[in-house]
Chain A
Amino acid sequence: MTIGIPRRPEPDRLAYWQALDSGRLLLMAVAAMLVTAAFASTAVILHQQPKIDWSAALAFGGFIAFGELLRLALPGGREAAPIAMVGAMSYALLLRVAGEHGNVRLPSVLVIAVCAVGMTVGALPHIAAGRPAGVTGMCTRLVAVAGVAFIFRSVVSGFLKDHTTWQLEFAVMAVLIFFGWLIETGVGALIRADDVGARFSVALADEIRLQWQLGLAVGASVIITVFSVQAMGLPVLLAFTGPLLVTQVAFRRYAGIRATYLQTVRSLARVTEVAGYVEAGHSRRVSRLAVAVGRALGMAEKELLDLEYAALMHDIGQLSLRDPIPGGATVLVSPADQDRIAELGAEVISHAGVLERVAELVRCQAWPARGHEPPPPLSSMIIRAANAFDDMVGSSTDRDRSATALDRMRLDPVAYDVDVVSALGDVAGRRVPSRL
C-alpha cells in the first residue's frame, strides 16, 4: 500500500456521470423526467380506473423488449434498435385492437411507461452479458416515441373517428413517423457531434445519409404493424416478427463486414511496422490524427472513411523498398523518393480495384500544398501533415516537442496547408492528456 501519495484521478477512470458531456446529460434528464411523469400519471390512472385491459401493453412491451435485445450495430460505432422502434412507434400510433373493446385510446403517458419498461427489460440481458447498456440510445428512442405519442394521442387522435378512411389514418401516421424519425436522427446527430467533435450540420447530414434506409424500413413496418393489429388483433404480431428479423439480419451482415474490413486494413497496415520500415504504432497514430483533423475541417463521414484507409496504408509503398529508411521517417527523405514511395503505395492499393479514391489520396500524399499542378486533394494534404507531425513527435506527449514540430510546419506553408496545420494544432493540443 502506498501512503501519503495523493492519488490523481486518471482520465479514463472517471465515474460514469463525470464522463458524460452536457448534451448526454440533458437528454438523460429529459428522458428521466418523461419517465417519472409517465409513471406518476399511470399510477393516478390506475387508481381511478383499475380495470384496464393489459393485453396490448403486454404484447407491445414484450415486442419492444425483444427488439431492444436485438440491437443492431451500424457502421461508425452507432447502435440502433429497429425492431424496438417498430414496436414502440406502433404502440404509440395504435388506436384500436381488433376484437378488443377495452380502452386502447389510453393517454400518451401510458405509452411512455410501457416503452420505458420494455426497453429496460430488453437492456437487462445486455448489462448481464457485460455489454454497454446503451442508455443514450434508449433515451433518444424514448424521447422520439414520447413526442409522437403526445402529438398523436393528445392532439390528432381526436380528429380520427372510427369512420375515418384508412387513407387519412395512413397519411397522419406517415407524417408523425417522419416527425419521430427527425427527432431520433436530430438528437443522435447532436450527441455524435459532441462525441467526435464534428460540426452539427455535418453530423446531421451523415446521420441522415446513413439512417434513411433503415428509417424507411422502420416507418413502413410501423404502418404495417398498426394496420394489421387494427384488422386482426395482437396475434398478427407473431407473423410479422419473421420478416422484421430477416431485414435485421441483412443489416447486421452489412454492418459486420464494414467493421471487419476496417479492422483488417488496420491490422495489415501494421506489416510495415513489423517489417521494421516504420516506428511501432505510426500508421495508427497518423490515421487517428488525420481523421480528427478531417473532422475538424468539416469532412463528411464517407470522405473520412477514405481518409482513414489512406492514412493507415500511406506507408505501404515502403514494402517495395529493398532497405528500410532509417527510422522509417519519410519526412527525412528527398521529395523524389517520397513521391516514389507514394506512387508504389498507390499502385499496391489500386491492385484491389475497389479503392481507387484511397489510392489517389496515397498517390498525392507527398505533393506540396502550394504550387503543385494539379493541387493535391485536401485529404492528401492532411495525411502529409499528420505524417510529418508523427515522424517528428512520435508517441511522445511532450508539449514542447509537438509545439516545435507545429512551428516547423507553420514555417513551411508551401509544403503544408495553413488551414490543415492550424487544425492539426488544435487537435494535437487536445490529444495531450491534461495533467490536473
Chain B
Amino acid sequence: MTSGQLGASRPVPGTQREARISPAAWVYIGAVVLAAAVLVARTPVRAPTNIHEVGNYWAALAVLQALFLVCDSPRTALTSRQTRWSPSSAATLAAAVLLGPAAAAFVGAMSLLSLRRQLQLGQRLFNGATHALSGLAAGEAYLAINTDVGLPQQPYFSRTLLAFAVAAGVHVLANHGLIWGIYRLTRGGGMQRGESPESSVALLLASDLGYASLGLVIASLWTIMHWFAAVIVLVPLFVARWAMAQFAEEHRAYAATMNALCQAVETKDYYTRGHGDRVSRGAVMIARKIGMNSARTDAIRFAGMLHDVGKLGVPTQVLQKTGALTEEEFAAIQLHPMRGLEIVREIGFLFEALNGIMHHHERIDGRGYPMGLAGHEIPEFARVIAVADAFDSMTSTRSYREAKSIDQGVAELRKGAGTQFDPVLVEAFIAALGQLGWVLPGPAGAPADLATVTVQDHDDPTAPLQVVVP
C-alpha cells in the first residue's frame, strides 16, 4: 500500500467496511485530524515568493486538487493484490513547489472527498488528515531548503532538485509513518508476520518516490504550459494503470485456469477431490506464519495445488489395488513426485516450487522418497507441503477409514514431528489452524460412475502402504 491510503486493496482489520473502527483507532484518527487542523490553521496560506508567482493562486490550487482527485481515483491507482501505487502524491508535491506548504496541505486534504466510494467516514477523515499533514511537512521541508516557492527557476534548478528530493522523502516517510501507526493499533501489536509488506518495504518506498518525482516534472512544465501540465502527465499514468489492470485480469484468469486444470486432474480419483486446493491453502497458511515473502507464498500456493499432479502417471490399477503392493508397484508410486516435476518443469515457476513438488514425500529422518534426503537437506517448500499434505489426507474420508477430526490430525502431526515432519513447521501450522481454522472436505457420498477410487492413500501417515517383502 505505497500511497498510504486506508481502504486500499488489503483492508485494514478494524477499519473494513463491515467492521467497526475500534475505539483506540478512533482516538488515533481524532489525534491525527486535530493535529492536521491545528498545524494547517497556523500556516500562512501564501508562502513567501520573491520570484515568479504562479498566475492565479486559487485557480492553480483548484487544478492541482482536481489532479489529486483524478490520481487518487480507481482509474489511475495501480492496484495489485498487495500494493496500491497511487500517483496522487505528485499533485501534493507539485503544490508544495508551486504554491507552498499550506496549498500542499489543501491538496492532500482532498483525500477526504476521494472518489472511491467504498470508503467509510473514519477512513476518509484519516486519509484526508494524513495527506494534509504529509503535504504540509513536505512543503515546509521544500521551503526550508529552497527558501522560496513559485515557478522553478532554471538557474537555481539544482537547488530546487535537492529541495524537492528532500520534500519527497519527507512526504513518503510522514505518510507511511502515520499509516503504520494505525496498523499497529488495529492489529494489536504490529502487523502479522507474512502479511506485512516488510519484506518489500524498500521496493514500495522506491516506487512511491518514483511517482512522487512527477511532482517536480509538473512544476517544471507549469512554467511553459500552465495548467495543461496537469493534463499531459495524466496520459502515461492512465496507460500504466491500464497495464496494471490487464495484469490483474490476466492474473485472475491464470489462477482460475490453474484451478480448473487441477480439478480436472483430480476428477480421476473420487476421494482426493479438492485435495490439491486444501493442501495449497494449508501450505500458504504455514508460509504466512513463518513470514515468507509474497512471491514465495504465491509460488507455494501453486506448488501445493500441483504437488500430486504426477499421480496421473501412476497406472490406475496400482492406485486401486487393495492388497499389499509389489516392489514394482511401490516404485511406481514413489516415482510420482518425479512425474509431477516432469509435467511442471517448463512452467516459469520459481525454482523452489519445483523443488517442493519433487521432494514433498521426503521425511526429516531421511526415510522418504524419491531421494531420501534428511533434515534441512529437504527444501523448505517440500517440508511445508509435506505437513499440509499429510494433514489433509488424515482429515479426509478414505475408502478404508472415516476422516479423522482436526484434533486427531493435529495429534498425529505432533507424533510425526521430528521424524516425518519439520517440528517448526508443524507448530506453525497448528498455530495457524488455531487462528484461521480449516475447511474440511465435504462428506464423501457414493462415488460417481466415472471416478476411480483410491484404496490406499500414499499420503496417509497413519496407514503406510503395505509392500510385500520378498
A330-374 CB contact bits vs B (8 Å, 1 = yes)? 000000000000000000110111110000000000000000000
Give the segment of B102-110, B150-158, B365-373 that binds chain A: B150-158
A154 interfacial by beta-carbon distance below 8 Å: no
B161 touches A239 (CB 8 A): yes
Give the segment of A143-151, A266-274, A401-409 that binds chain B: A266-274
Q: What separation, in Å, do the CA atoms of A259 and B349 have in the docked complex? A: 11
Give the segment of B27-35, B174-182, B256-264, B375-383 that binds chain A: B256-264
Contacts of A245 in B (CB 8 A): 210
SS class of chain A's interface: helix, strand, loop or mixed? Answer: helix
A238 interfacial by beta-carbon distance below 8 Å: yes
B243 touches A213 (CB 8 A): yes
Q: Tell me the nearest residue of chain A to B214, going by C-beta.
A: A243
Partner of B343, one of A253, A259, A271, A354: A271
B220 interfacial by beta-carbon distance below 8 Å: yes
Q: Which of A156-172 contact B (CB under 8 A)?
A: 166, 170
Q: What separation, in Å, do the CA atoms of A251 and B312 have in the docked complex? A: 37
Most buried by A among B211, B212, B254: B254
A267 touches B242 (CB 8 A): no
B346 touches A267 (CB 8 A): yes
Give the segment of B138-146, B245-253, B271-279 that binds chain A: B245-253
B346 touches A242 (CB 8 A): no
Distance in Å from the Cβ of B269 to the closest Cβ of chain A? 11
A7 interfacial by beta-carbon distance below 8 Å: no
Q: Which of A252-272 contact B (CB under 8 A)?
A: 253-254, 257-261, 263-268, 270-271
A175 interfacial by beta-carbon distance below 8 Å: no
Partner of B264, one of A244, A276, A316, A355: A316
A219-250 CB contact bits vs B (8 Å, 1 = yes)? 11101100110111101101111111111011
B196 interfacial by beta-carbon distance below 8 Å: no
B265 interfacial by beta-carbon distance below 8 Å: yes
A242 touches B211 (CB 8 A): yes
B232 interfacial by beta-carbon distance below 8 Å: yes
Contacts of A228 in B (CB 8 A): 217, 220-221
Partner of B247, one of A219, A247, A254, A266: A254
Q: What separation, in Å, do the CA atoms of A351 and B217 have in the docked complex? A: 48
B235 touches A220 (CB 8 A): yes
Q: Tell me the nearest residue of chain A to B259, going by C-beta.
A: A352
Indicate whether A257 sits within 8 Å of B250 (C-beta atoms), given known contacts A213-B243, A239-B164, A239-B213: yes
Q: What separation, in Å, do the CA atoms of A393 and B110 have in the docked complex? A: 68
Contacts of A261 in B (CB 8 A): 250, 253-254, 257
Q: Tell me the nearest residue of chain B to A272, going by C-beta.
A: B312
Partner of B236, one of A99, A243, A322, A351: A243
Contacts of A260 in B (CB 8 A): 254, 347-348
Partner of A254, one of B236, B243, B309: B243
Q: What separation, in Å, do the CA atoms of A391 and B232 have in the docked complex? A: 57
A217 touches B450 (CB 8 A): no
What are the nearest 5 A-B pairs in CB distance?
A242-B210, A220-B235, A352-B260, A217-B239, A275-B312
- B interface vs A, CB < 8 Å? 78, 80, 85, 87, 90, 152, 154-155, 157-158, 161, 164, 207, 209-214, 216-217, 220-221, 223-225, 232-233, 235-237, 239-244, 246-247, 250-254, 256-261, 263-265, 267-268, 309-310, 312-313, 316, 339, 342-348, 450, 452
Given A242-B211, A264-B347, A266-B346, 8 more A-B residue pairs with CB atoms under 8 Å apart are A170-B225, A232-B154, A233-B157, A239-B214, A242-B209, A264-B258, A268-B258, A268-B347
